[in-house]
Amino acid sequence: MLKGKEIVLGVTGGIAAYKAAEFLRLLVKREASVHVVMTRNAQEFVTPLTFQTLSGKPVVTDPFALIQDEKIAHIALADLAELVVILPATANILGKIAAGIADDFLSTLVMATRAPVLLAPSMNVNMWESAAVKKNVEILIQRGFHFIEPGEGELACGWYGKGRLAELEDVIEKIEDLFTEKDLAGERFLVTAGPTQEPIDPVRFLTNRSSGKMGYALALMAKRRGGEVVLISGPTSLRPPRPVIRIVSVRTAEEMRKAVSEHLPWSTVV
Ligand SMILES: Cc1cc2nc3c(=O)[nH]c(=O)nc-3n(C[C@H](O)[C@H](O)[C@H](O)COP(=O)(O)O)c2cc1C
């Protein structure tokens, strides 16, 4: 899905900048064409050489860089981009974009592009919860910027709370979602997946070899394409699809039948 997509990856000066290298690798693995732009402060954390090696393209670090002789670089890249992802996004870059400041290559490119911009913030919990950052996020959401919220957990600064960079696979899912046409919006999908188990006694049960993979994949695509989804799942070893989908867990065939009957009137597609 990301094959050949022109993606600008903006890297700013947060501790999670090292994760941007792994993220770049995930994009390249999906054959996206990735152009990395680093702020001056990002280069205090990771070297441009890492990104150049992984992307196979020059990394823009200089506000006055030229990509092609006659073209102004930030405009050329802003025009070329189909998506701009800033990962990690510092409190500083959020503030600059919200305030309309364009004082380096990345912030100027964001102002100049018409492509969607996805921001993946990462910072100390107190910074994330500060009135300034909250206000800036609100402003940016209102203006149509996309966010992948930070997760909760132990932070590099030693604090515990919200502020750590979202899981990279979740960011990839968000990007694939952004590139997917919402042609199934308005449809309500009822998907069944996985095996059922019929207990023989408290230890043993009869089951079948269903893995659930097909149902999970259908549920994921229906959701990505804008549908609402209820996934009725027998016991599987699969992780739930990354977009938030309502999952009803069942075990026996009778539980599966009941759950399906309950949701049938709600659904438009089974
Ligand atoms: C060791 C260290 C770690 C930092 N980590 C973060 C961070 O995770 N998130 C953040 O918003 N700022 C962080 N900062 C502060 C930013 O580097 C600072 O606000 C800087 O101006 C960001 O510049 P940029 O947005 O142009 O890259 C950190 C600073 C230092 C010295």
Domain 6-178: homologous superfamily in CATH: Flavin prenyltransferase-like (3.40.50.1950)
pLDDT in tens, 202-250: 999 999 999 999 999 999 999 999 999 999 999 999 988 877 789 999 9
157 included as an active-site residue? yes
Name the pairing type of β-strands 151-154 and 160-164.
Answer: antiparallel
Buried/exposed 136-149: b ≥16 CB within 10 Å, e otherwise: bbeebeeeebbbbe
The answer to whether the CB of 123 is under 6 A from ligand 1 is: yes
**Phi/psi at 249 (5° precision):** -90, 130
pLDDT in tens, 8-56: 999 999 999 999 999 999 999 999 999 999 999 999 999 999 999 999 9
Domain boundaries, given as residue ranges, for the chain: 6-178, 188-263
pLDDT in tens, 149-188: 999 877 776 777 788 999 999 999 999 999 999 999 999 9
Q: 234: closest CA among 264, 215, 256?
A: 256
Q: Which two tokens stand for residue 131?
A: 């009135």
Residue nearest to atom 7 of ligand 1 (CA): 14
Residue 112 CA to ligand 1 center (angstroms) comes to 24
